[in-house]
Amino acid sequence: MANRIEGATYFSTLLCGAITLPAGSVDKTTVATSAGIEQTKLEHQHRIGYHQAKSDATADNRIVYTCYGTTGSVLAVEAGTQVVCGGDSTITIAVNRKRGAASVAVLSASIVLDSNNVVYTPEAGTIDTANDDLLEHDCLEVAVTVSPGSGTLGDGLFVSITVAEDAA
């Protein structure tokens, strides 16, 4: 049988075997600044940057991230240029998850930058939710391919990948 106490009640010390709090009753304002919560109890968000110098984009495959937490997920991928492509030139960006020898695309389709893009305005990729999960020691690779066509390639390529990672 449960007991009920109505109204405000002060306890100088309360010892409980277990306590069930209502959903949403603990938020960041109720945690003391000096609480010293261990990093192993937190989820971390990282924004990984990849960029090329402000000159014509070049083909490249580069590992940009290693997961050190127990698990994680890719939340977003965006790419853009400082100078857009001219004519029919394109820059194609893929992001691949490397798990041991296996490699899968994180995006459901590569990001293609062309003359229709706007400078410094990133184009968002669509995450493939079947391949967005990360495990400890998984790597993310940015793969860039270029097609000069009859125009000019964009300059100053940049890619941003947002990852949530659980602490180890």
Q: What is the pLDDT of residues 92-107, one digit of tens each?
A: 999 999 999 999 999 9
pLDDT at position 121: 96
Per-residue pLDDT, 15: 85
What's the pLDDT at 86?
Answer: 96
Tokens of 26: 């603990």
pLDDT of residue 116: 96
pLDDT of residue 66: 96
Query: pTM (2 decimals)?
Result: 0.79
Measured between alpha carbons, how far is residue 92 from residues 113, 125, 153 in Å? 6, 11, 11
107: which strand partners? 127
32 C-beta neighbours (distance < 10 Å), count: 7
Residue 168: per-residue pLDDT? 65
Instruction: Write out residues in the chain with pLDDT < 70, as ranges.
Output: 1, 168
Q: According to the model, what pLDDT value does residue 1 have?
A: 66
- The CATH number, out of the four listed (3.30.230, 2.30.29, 2.60.120, 3.30.250), of the domain defined by the range 43-166: 2.60.120
Q: Are 95 and 106 in contact (CB under 8 A)?
A: yes
Cα 74 to Cα 135: distance, rounded to the nearest angstrom: 11
